[in-house]
Amino acid sequence: MARTKRSSSLKAENGKAIWLLVSADIVVIVLVLTGFVFTQASLTKLAQSALVRGILLAAAGPLIAVFLNDLLPSNAKASIVFWRFKDALPGHRAFSEHVEADPRIDMVALKKKIGEFPQSPRDQNTRWYQLFQKYQSNVIVSDAHKRFLLFRDSSSLTLLILVIAGIAAVLSGVPLGLQAILAGGLAIQFLWLALSARNTGIRLVQNVLALESSDDEGKKK
């Protein structure tokens, strides 16, 4: 699952959603660190100044999102999402694990087309990526790829924000109760996004294999 021009384009398309996520996190973190009391009256007052805050976030949000998103290499992001230090991408287990878990994949047809399945994680990912290049413009593949990149980058950003916000909260002397709420909220957000990235990443791998196994043109060769 290496980086391509198509993946760069998909990352650009995901930029708005990631920017909104980062901006929302920044708003909540700033409010907590500045001692904002979440009452109906205070929220009403906050809404009245939303224009000013919106202008500031519109200027700073994209820059912060881009900086943080490029701070981590793709391999590190994969490790964060799949909780593996080595061979983290689902493509590394394409033929040893994920191929058998999808009933859409015709195992017999797939083996006839590509031969014996590769064994090592590196060889599995390399062979899968060759197939991905063939089908990356297919709608079910491109959609899964886009969603995987979105959730992968969002979960990595959330983890960075969690660490930065935690340090800022401690240095700012925020009460422990508020620190726990802030950390808990970001932790839940991270877990949700990471699990979504895992599922879409595995689905991406399986979509490619399913298409290859059902490619009638390839079977005739």
Characterise 117 by phi-psi region: left (phi > 0), alpha (psi -120 to 50), beta (else). beta
Task: Write the pLDDT tens digit of every residue in 139-162.
Answer: 999 999 999 999 999 898 888 888
CA geometry: angle 161, 64, 150, nearest 5 deg: 70
Residue 179 in this model has a pLDDT that exceeds 90:
no
pLDDT of residue 44: 63
Name, of 5-19, 165-179, 199-213, the range with top average pLDDT: 199-213
Task: Write the pLDDT tens digit of every residue in 79-114.
Answer: 999 999 899 999 999 999 999 999 999 999 999 999
How many Cα atoms occupy the beta-carbon half-sphere of 126 within 13 Å? 6
Mean pLDDT of the chain: 80
Q: What is the spatial distance between Cα 199 and Cα 184, in angstroms, rounded to a whole number? A: 23
Output the pTM of the full model.
0.72
